[in-house]
Amino acid sequence: MKKVFSLVIALTLITGAMAQEKRDRKSTDHKKDRIERFKDLTPEQLATLQTKRMAIKLDLSQAQQKEILKLNTELAEKRKAEFQKFKEAKDGKKEWTAEERFDFMNKKLDARLAVQQKMKNILDDNQYAIWKKSHDKPGKHFHHKRKGFRQGR
């Protein structure tokens, strides 16, 4: 009886460890897959896809779609340029100073405020509320890194 009980406990521990490892791999693989899917697209293509997703979600008019496409294209070009800059900096293994990190984060927040204001001007109140809700979820990008996070619970 002791042997059976020990065997059941051992199998439970092994299964739990394997499931944890698989989930960890899955979250990093998903990020890599997403980067791979979009890396070959031009900023214009990315902006078009984003605008169409927004049009479906927010029920945008043609005029709103044109304005948002213009904004999304501008943002996609900036992101692509920043990505290249980071890639070059990563290759050089240059560490950022505290001042550089502050400047970067400050510029990024200023850009978010500008985008938010532009969206507020383009969208009506209901559309803006939906857009804002989808963009202001705290920790939506990092929820899988929390200790003890389990999907479905």
| DSSP letter, residue 97 | P
| Pair 40, 113: CB distance under 8 Å | no
pLDDT in tens, the chain (153 residues): 777 767 777 777 777 776 666 555 555 666 677 777 777 889 999 999 999 999 999 999 999 999 999 999 999 999 888 888 877 777 776 777 889 889 989 999 999 999 999 999 999 999 999 999 988 766 555 544 555 555 554
H, E, C per residue of 103-129: HHHHHHHHHHHHHHHHHHHHCCHHHHH
| 77-115 confidence digits (pLDDT tens) | 998 888 888 777 777 767 778 898 899 899 999 999 999
**What's the whole-model pTM score?**
0.65
Domain boundaries, the chain: 42-135
